Structure 1
Amino acid sequence: MPEIVSYSHPRKILGYITSVKLLSLCFAITSKEVYPDGSVFHRLVHLTLCTCWKEWLKLLMYLLRNSPTLQALKLIQRHTLEDDRQSPRWNEPSSVPECVLSSLETLQWVRYEGTEEEKGVVEFILKSANCLKKATISSKATDPNKKLEMIKELSSSPRRSPTCQLIFD
């Protein structure tokens, strides 16, 4: 069973755990001091990242750039978001992280809302991932029309990997 560690200085702990194979992160903090300088997660193959923190997009891109052997990515909204939470801005990176090009095989998104930022991340991974075998999207939407619109949008997104299955829950 994985250990759960709570630490008030995420930058320090991320710098110390660069040899992990499985990592699950949720930062319910407002600190921007998260990214350890020069840390590379060479052994990380499974990453779960909570999208409840307003800086989750920056952390995601940091981890993708610094995890060259990542095979499985799970994004999940574990906590209720504050109504006044500012949505992060998606800016497509100028280069594709090595793991997306050479090792990422699965993407799972739990409680996907279909925001522009979320859609941007999924579309970027679908069009960039050479080895992606399966992308599973579990929608948070209860409105069947909204859910159908999300399915149509993502289904029409180009996929780099010809064998990638796009599954909607």
Structure 2
Amino acid sequence: MGMISDLPDQMLLQILSWLPTTEVVATMLLSKQWKFLWKQVPKLYYNYSEHEGKDFSEFVSRSLQLHVAPSLKSLKLSISPYCDSRDVTNWIDLAVSRFVLELEIDLTAAQYPMITALPKSMYTCRTLSCLKLKALVLDDIPEDYPICLSSLNYMYLSVSIQVSADKFIGKLSAGAPLLKKTVVQGPVYGDQFLDSMTSYSELKSFTTCLSEWGPTVDSYFNKLEHLCMCTCSSGWWDLLINFLQRSPILRQLQLIKSCNSRPLSSGNQPGFTSTTHVPECLSTTLQTLEWRDYAETEFDMPVASFLLKNATRLSEAKIFLEYAAGPIEKLRIRTALAKLSRGSPTCHLNIGN
């Protein structure tokens, strides 16, 4: 104990920042030196699984009220099914009053829908740079709420939204001029959502898993450089080709299966229809392609062939085969992929397991 206690307080605070807040608070019992140190820790992480029953809410409320650090770098809340929505609202208010930089709220464990409206203070948090919302039920942002998220540059939404997602995200984006990366998972519908995305003047990276989305995209992503798309849903290629046609400076493309949807059988999977209009980014800017959980269905192979043939500036293509495939099947797929024509003479094709 003597050796670690001899370290400067700032170093001790950095060490404590890596621990769950339950363990951080427990250090107050070690000695007089540690009695108040936990109140200065810049990162707080609350996980309901470390508590029993309703003790979790009381612990979070009490420790947040006692926290005296001038600024809060990060607050992560993995919330108990027993929490009251009013408690969560109060916790967010407290975080905003501490000039929070990163805020994450995870309601994955909740047994019933909770949180239908975020507190007004969150929408005017000028210090917030990273916002992650998981498994929340959100209402529309009231018209009289001013929105000023002048530092927000990363947003992750995996939520159940009672109103149209395009309305919620559109309003949120209006006050977030520095937003550069957005990850959206869940039931988001309509072209208005895309219109709100393109309104982000600095949006350079976009990740999406929109299994219910239609294939038409009418908006242009003039500054988008990185696109990550989930391949879980039917017709994802139609959506992808629309994105490629409207992202003229795209440099990186990732195709992944990020959700738990069951793979489509070949009988239900739509056939690939090659387009006569090759997206501009394939012939001018696309440099890297990464495809995970590649299964070489009747759909995947033509898509891979189209991308490799027309991406004339591609420097590297990484294709990782679906885990369920056996060794003989993987060898056959590798052989087939290696034979595909490549439009870029300098493209290095890397095929992994």
Same fold, judged at TM 0.5 (above): yes
Give how far 1:82 is off.
Answer: 5.4
Larger helix percent: 2
Amino acid aligned to 1:16 = S
CA shift in 2, pair 1:83/1:133, >3 Å? closer
CA shift in 2, pair 1:133/1:51, >3 Å? same
1:25 matched to which residue of 2?
Answer: 208
Q: 2:330 aligns with which of 141, 147, 152?
A: 147
CA distance in 2, matches of 1:27, 1:52: 9
Q: 2:290 aligns with which of 101, 108, 111?
A: 108
CA shift in 2, pair 1:133/1:80, >3 Å? same
1:132 matched to which residue of 2?
Answer: 314
Paired residues of 2:226 and 2:251 also in contact (CA < 8 A): yes
The answer to which structure, 1 or 2, has the higher relative contact order (CA under 8 A, 6+ apart) is 1
Amino acid aligned to 2:216 = Y
Paired residues of 2:217 and 2:242 also in contact (CA < 8 A): no
Provide TM-score, normalisation by structure 1. 0.90
| SS of 2:299 mapped into structure 1 | helix
- Per-residue Cα deviation, 1:96-130 (whole angstroms, up to 9, x for no partner): 11000100101100111111211111111111111
| SS of 2:155 mapped into structure 1 | coil
CA shift in 2, pair 1:74/1:82, >3 Å? closer
CA shift in 2, pair 1:165/1:36, >3 Å? closer
CA shift in 2, pair 1:26/1:10, >3 Å? farther
Runs of 4+ in structure 1 over 4 Å off: 82-85
Provide TM-score, normalisation by structure 2. 0.45
CA shift in 2, pair 1:15/1:36, >3 Å? farther
Q: 1:121 aligns with which of 276, 280, 303?
A: 303
CA distance in 2, matches of 1:103, 1:28: 27
1:3-152 correspondence to structure 2 within 5 Å: 3-5=155-157, 6=159, 7=165, 8-18=188-198, 19=200, 20-29=203-212, 31-32=213-214, 35-37=216-218, 39-78=219-258, 79-81=260-262, 86-140=268-322, 141-152=324-335
Give how far 1:83 is off.
Answer: 5.3
CA shift in 2, pair 1:72/1:148, >3 Å? same
Give how far 1:28 is off.
Answer: 2.8
1:159 matched to which residue of 2?
Answer: 342
Number of residue equivalences: 166
CA distance in 1, matches of 2:282, 2:295: 23
Percent identity at matched positions? 33
Give how far 1:10 is off.
Answer: 4.2
